[in-house]
Chain A
Amino acid sequence: MKKLHIRLSLIITSIVLIIALGIYHNINKNSGNIDKRLYAQAIRLFEGFDNILEDADVIATGTVNNIVIHDEYDEYFVTILNTKKGDDMEQITVRNYLCEYTYMDDNKGRIGKSNLNYEIGKSYIFILQHIRNVYEDMYIIMSDAYIPLENAQNSTVLSKELRDIEDCEAYIDQYHFKNIQGKGIQLSIDYIESSQEKEIVAHSKYIAKVEVNELYRSTEIVDVYACSVVDILKGKINAAENQIIIPFFKDTVEIGEIYLVCLNSDRDDAIIYTLSSKNSVFEASKFESIKNMVEVN
């Protein structure tokens, strides 16, 4: 009987050990994944280094003071040393989006992956796109341009070495820009910085009462909803089957509720409308007072 007890104990112990090992095995693999960020996939256009310089809104040398890791991008806090293009600034926050990409260069297909080798305390040339909408105001690294001031031989644009240009800073200093302003404005949508209802109403191309229906997608910043148009106070709204799309600031509206919203759009034929300010969402009960403001305007 004692032998049977021992055998049983041995079997149970070994089975418990196997399970524990399996769990440990899985935990190890899963925990290895926590720091792994998956890169977005993109097709990009490359029309030469000079075009990147022309399209840029800001070109400056700067030193990285801090790096913050986000799910979709790395954020660099930079002290500007010397501005080559764009407005002079002392500090700037730069985003480097994670992306695996393809593009054509010299009739050859190329691939690349966002260069995240920036280091705190090191200085770089930053070639940036300035994109502004009501939700975000951001400076984004263009064409994956990674140009360290020291070890300039490590410079890359779209993951390809910058072999043709020996001294990138001197090249930019001598470059004659045809476009003083870059292309960031084309990627931006107009909005107003105001909390005054009258100003917001005056600045909005469209004002409508909408019911929030379904969620399209969520980001760190916005929840994008399909909304049905209940009433229009200002502007001609294009509604596909009476529905429009509105990105609201995260967790600020609820499905099934009705709101009065002041909106803008990039194009007249858009069905996506962006908020005209950070304070452009009102309770439906504001309808009459906003209507009066529209009529006065």
Chain B
Amino acid sequence: MNKTSKMRNYKQKLALVCLIILCSCMSLKTISKADSIYFDNWYSNAYYVMFWSQTPKVFITNLSGSINIAPYVNEAVNKWSNAGISSSVTTSLSNANIRYYGGTRSELISIGLYYITDYLGLTYWDSYSYMTTANSYYDIYRLNAVSTSVCSEAGSELYSNVALHEYSHALGWVGHSVYFENDVMYPYAVKGNTTLTTRDKNQLLQVYNAMN
């Protein structure tokens, strides 16, 4: 083997080594980033978190005249946008990530949202991707599509609370606030809470800040 061909051989090997080092660094970075995440403000009873990696768009549908959820959903979108988590209402179904439905329980059941007699609001994670385990406590999922809803039987006094509560789920707020009665994510009160508390906001903000 002459000197030139030996040099070419080493250059090839060196390029290969560099490529492998680059790949392994990227792979390790992904793992270590998630593993280093820890959430200080945890108010939920759930031990997994969800988030949107892009600004979600909401498409609102009233399945009948039994309820008009549009004002309540718009209100929820604005409240969360003011809190620092942006989303917007879209009039294009195909562009929507979150589909927000209002209707009677029987109408909602017919589209596969399984309301039983005692349900007032319901959110389904239609599509999501498992990211990785952030640490020993939390699993992280990236949301791809969500269906959320309020049934007309909830009654107009509760629409605002239920709509905001379910929308918070749709943005990734998993589980419920267990101890603080003023939280929107606390089990609903008779007239319902309609103002996002610092705890409501921080629970979700810490996830978005860490993941986006």
Binding site for B on A (CB under 8 A): 8, 11-12, 15-16, 18-19, 22-23, 25-26, 29-30, 33, 36, 38, 40-46, 52, 55, 72-73, 97, 100, 102-104, 107, 109-111, 129, 131, 133, 135, 140, 142-143, 183, 186-189, 214, 216-217, 219, 221-222, 224, 226, 245, 247, 265-267, 269-272, 274
Contact = CB atoms under 8 A, between A and B. Distances in A.
Nearest to B162: A43
A189 B46 CA distance: 35
Given A109-B181, A129-B117, A272 B103 contact: yes
Query: Which DSSP category, helix, strand, loop or mixed, fits chain B's interface?
Result: mixed
Contacts of A40: 114, 122-125
Contacts of B118: 44-46, 52, 55, 103, 142-143
Interface in B149-190: 154, 162, 165-166, 169, 174-176, 178, 181, 186-190
B106 interface: yes
Contacts of B174: 41, 100
A127 B64 CA distance: 30
B210 interface: no
B64 A187 contact: no
B10 to A, nearest CB: 8
Contacts of A187: 105-106, 109, 115-117
A259 B3 CA distance: 76
A271 B110 contact: no
B69 interface: no
Nearest to A142: B116
B147 interface: yes
Interface in B90-144: 93-94, 99, 103-107, 109-112, 114-126, 128, 130, 132-133, 139, 141
B24 A30 contact: no
B104 A266 contact: yes
Contacts of B130: 29-30, 33
In the complex, the 5 A-B pairs of residues with the closest C-beta atoms, listed nearest first:
A109-B187, A269-B65, A102-B187, A219-B112, A270-B64
A272 to B, nearest CB: 4
Contacts of A274: 110
B54 interface: no
Most buried by B among A111, A135, A188, A265: A111
A72 B188 contact: no
Interface centre among B21, B46, B141 (most CB of A within 10 A): B46
B106 to A, nearest CB: 5
A44 B31 CA distance: 39
A270 B117 CA distance: 20
